[in-house]
Structure 1
Amino acid sequence: MKVQQKWRRPGVDWVKCNFDGAWIQQGSRGGFGAVLRDHMGDFVAAVAGPLGWTGSAFHAELCATRQALLLAQSYCPDGKRISFEDDSSLVMAAMKGKEDDCSPLGNIINDLRFMLQSFPSSKVSLVQRGCNSAAHRLIRLGLGSTHQIGWCENPPNLLRDILFEESL
Structure 2
Amino acid sequence: MLKMNVDGSFKCQDACGGWGYVIRDDLGAIIQSGWGRKDFACSPLHMELLACLQGLGAAVQLGIQDLELETDAKQVVDAIKGNDFRLSLVGGLVHEVKEFRGSSVLLKGLSQAQSLVLISAPNQITFKSDLRWCPMFSNLKTLLLNDYWCTPDDFSALACILEYSPVLAKLTLELFSEGPKYKVEMKGRCNLMERSAKISENLNIVEVKCQVVDERVLEVLKFLCTFNISFTF
| Short-chain TM bin | 0.5 to 0.7
Q: What letter is aligned with 1:32?
A: W
Q: Does 1:126 align with 2:123?
A: yes
TM-score (norm 2): 0.43
Q: What letter is aligned with 1:49?
A: G
TM-score (norm 1): 0.58
Deviations 1:43-94 (A, max 9, x none): 10000111121011111111111112112212243xx321101111000111
Q: Residues 1-168 of structure 1: matches in 2 within 5 Å?
A: 14-77=1-64, 80-97=65-82, 101-117=86-102, 121=105, 126=123
8 Å CA contact retained: 1:100, 1:110: no
Matched residue count: 111
Aligned-pair Cα RMSD in Å: 2.4
Structure with higher helix content: 1
Which secondary structure does the structure 1 equivalent of 2:14 belong to? coil
Q: 1:120 to 1:73 in 2, by over 3 A?
A: farther
Which sections of structure 2, spanning at least 5 residues, go unmatched? 107-119, 125-233
Q: What letter is aligned with 2:50?
A: C
Quick one: distance in 1 between partners of 2:73 and 2:13?
21
Which sections of structure 1, spanning at least 5 residues, go unmatched? 1-13, 128-168
Q: 1:21 to 1:124 in 2, by over 3 A?
A: farther
Percent sequence identity over matched residues?
26
Highest Rg: 1 or 2? Answer: 2
Quick one: distance in 1 between partners of 2:11 and 2:56?
23
Quick one: distance in 2 between partners of 1:114 and 1:62?
13
8 Å CA contact retained: 1:83, 1:124: no
